[in-house]
């Protein structure tokens, strides 16, 4: 499977506010320290056409891999971002 997009990861000064439901899904996969450091990272999502926190990108169905600060994206279905208010 080849990727259709290569997106650079960059670090923001302030961390994103990510809803608890997204963070809870990652608790068994990543350590708490790693989750807190990844809250500062973002990508320009080619599917949505806007800035998305990396933790949301990581959970996207189009996410393939991340190697040396570059995310490889399949370009299909995008993530649920921004979250809808209930």
- pLDDT tens by residue, 13-44: 998 898 888 889 888 888 999 999 999 999 99
Question: What are residue 58's DSSP bridge partners?
Answer: none
The answer to whether position 78 is within a domain reads no
Q: Which domain holds residue 26?
A: 5-73
Mean pLDDT to the nearest integer, 56-72:
90
> Number of folded domains in the chain?
1
Residue the block writes with tokens 């993530």: 79
Residue for token pair 């998305």: 52
């Amino acid at each position: 499977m080849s990727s259709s997009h290569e997106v650079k990861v960059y670090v923001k000064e302030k961390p994103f506010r990510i809803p608890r439901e997204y963070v809870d899904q990652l608790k068994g996969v990543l350590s708490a320290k790693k989750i807190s450091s990844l809250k500062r990272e973002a990508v320009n999502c080619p599917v949505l056409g806007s800035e998305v926190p990396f933790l949301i990108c990581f959970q996207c169905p189009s996410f393939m891999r991340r190697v040396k600060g570059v995310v490889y994206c399949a370009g299909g279905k995008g993530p649920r971002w921004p979250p809808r208010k209930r």
